[in-house]
Structures are given as structure tokens and as C-alpha cells.
Structure 1
């Protein structure tokens, strides 16, 4: 049930974004569009509440329960950025807005963007781990929550790998390719 719920919440997140942008730019109902965009965090809240209820009713935490906390951490940190990214492209395509600026792919600016990206990942990790620890404390049964601890270890390893990759560009910046 929980894996399907996570997929449903992810789909719901993007459906609300798309609906919000359609109402804003194509139907010219800006307030309705804004309201739909503001509903995206509600999807995350429903996911968290459902996962906690499942655990409190005696469910044993699975990787999917932990993934819900990961999803929530990323959604809190990156959700606004994802909406802004989609909004810029939608405004350009349907409302005559300016073209999105391409990402810098080399040099110091690229290295800086990579470092900022890692810091955002660190923040998502911290938020997600707070939810994971919170679920462990609420359930108060090590045998039923061991998978949540495993998710924290797995995510911490990924965060470390991301650190090495992201900060490697500071030491060895990408060089602009020469055009022949």
C-alpha cells in the first residue's frame, strides 16, 4: 500500500503543478492557479500522516516507509524550485515569457552551482532524517523500525558520494570545450 501511495503522491504533486499552470496561463485564472500550486505541500503532508498511521497501527516499516521521508525531505527543499522551473517554461511557452536561462556547465560558476546543489541535498537529508527519527521514536519498537535506520544509512552514503562529486568541480573545474 505504501509504495503505491508514494507513487500516487508524486503523481498528485505534478498533476497539481500542471493544473495550476494551466489555470494560470491558459485559462487566465491566476488565483485558481496559485491555489492549486499552494496545494502541493498538502500532498506531502497526507503522505506523512498516512505512513505514520500505518506504523502506529502495527505495521512494520519497509524501505517504502523510509522512502516517504526521503521524498518529503526532497519535496520540502526542492518543491518550490521545481514549481519555479516548470512555471518559467510554461510562461515562456504559453504566455510569451522570457526563455529560461541555460545552466552553466563549466568553470567556477558550475562549481558553485554544484556546491549549492550539495548543500540543498544536505538540507533535504537533514529534514528527511528528522522525519525518520521521529517515526522511529513514535513507534518505539526497534524490530519494526530497523528499515528506517537502514534508509538513513543508505541516504547518508549517497550524500557522501554526492559531496565528493559536487566538490570535485571546485578542485577540478570543468573546462569549456573548444569548438572545432
Structure 2
């Protein structure tokens, strides 16, 4: 059973994420459609169990291969992301489903208006985008601290590592130095996120 699990670890990781989000959405739908307040608690428990399952898969992989791999690095990133952004993303999803259910049930406009109070524009939206980037940057720093402690990885120059071309390039680079490959790609994503987030400081979002 364990051998089968490890042979298909990528598939199991993807399946676990899909199942997690499906059950969370269902739990929130039950909460707002059937007024089952305890459904949110169920969704939170599912969140914890999913993180533990991902961690367990990473530990099994390490025991099996006897060394750190790119798969385990991905697991570490998943867990760090869940710890830092999991709660805020859960709230966003909760708010979105609440709004959709209110529309579908034809509830009073006041309920919809109450839910849309979180919509922000202008300077406030720009501040929110910058705050999101700071969270992303903090995740990046924390991940690299963990990489340094666990794997002894300290990037000399992330920009000197060529970005792999296509799937084959990613696999080859990951086999050579999986952490360096992931770090390089992540750095480029971080730069794009920086440009996107701070663009709202220069060009504020206008209310429709």
C-alpha cells in the first residue's frame, strides 16, 4: 500500500488538494444554504486533516528515498503557504460563497450589501495589494530559511540559474538541483507579484 502510494505520490498530492477544496466548498454551501453553522467547523477540520495528510506523504517519501527531493520541497512550500495564507484564503472563499448563495436564494439586498462591504477601491485597495505582497515575500523568506536549515541551500545568485524550457527542462533542472530550480522559478513569480501589487499604488482600482 505504502509503495503504491509513493509510486503515485504526485497524483495523490493533486487528488488530496482537489478533494480538500471540494469538501470545503460543500461545507460552506451547507452552512449558508441550510443554515448549518457547524459546517464551518467541519471545513476547518478538513483543512487541518489535509495539511497533515500532505505532511505525512512528505515524511513517507523522505523515509523511502533517504534524502531530500523536489517533491519534499513542494510539500514544505504547501505547508508554509497553508500556515500563512490558509486562513485569509478561507475567509475569501467563505465570503464569495455567502454572496453567491444570497443571490441564488433571492435574499434581501441588505444581506448582499453587508457581504460586499469588504470590497475596497483606491488607496485602500492598493494598501491591501501591498499587504498581500508582503505576505508572499514573508513566505518566500521563511521557505528559504527552512531550505537553509534542512537542506543547507543558500542561493548564490538566483538570477544566474536559467529558467528551464518546458516540462523536460524543469525535470532535468530539478534532478540536478531541485531546490535551486524551485527557488529560481519562485523568485521570478515574486517579481511579477511585486509589479502587479504595486501597480495599484500608481494606478488605483476605480469603483465600477
Q: TM-score category by the smaller chain?
A: 0.7 to 0.9
The aligned length equals: 171
Which residue of 126, 129, 132 maps to 2:141? 126
Alignment correspondent of 1:98? 112
Cα distance in 2, alignment partners of residues 28 and 169 from structure 1: 38
Alignment correspondent of 1:140? none
The reply on whether 1:173 has 2:187 as its aligned counterpart is no
The reply on whether 1:66 has 2:81 as its aligned counterpart is no
Tell me if structure 2 keeps the 8 A contact 1:13–1:40. Answer: yes
Unmatched tracts of structure 1, length 5 or more: 138-142
Cα distance in 2, alignment partners of residues 56 and 149 from structure 1: 22
Coordinate RMSD, CA, aligned: 3.3
Alignment correspondent of 2:123? 108
Structure of greater relative contact order (alpha carbons < 8 Å, 6+ residues apart)? 1
Shift of 1:14: 0.7
Bigger mean CA offset, 109-118 vs 17-26: 17-26
Tell me if structure 2 keeps the 8 A contact 1:23–1:32. Answer: yes
Cα distance in 1, alignment partners of residues 80 and 131 from structure 2: 16
The reply on whether 1:164 has 2:195 as its aligned counterpart is yes
Alignment correspondent of 1:30? 37
Which residue of 45, 60, 63 maps to 1:56? 63
Unmatched tracts of structure 2, length 5 or more: 1-7, 153-173
Provide TM-score, normalisation by structure 2: 0.64
Tell me if structure 1 keeps the 8 A contact 2:30–2:39. Answer: yes
Tell me if structure 1 keeps the 8 A contact 2:68–2:151. Answer: no
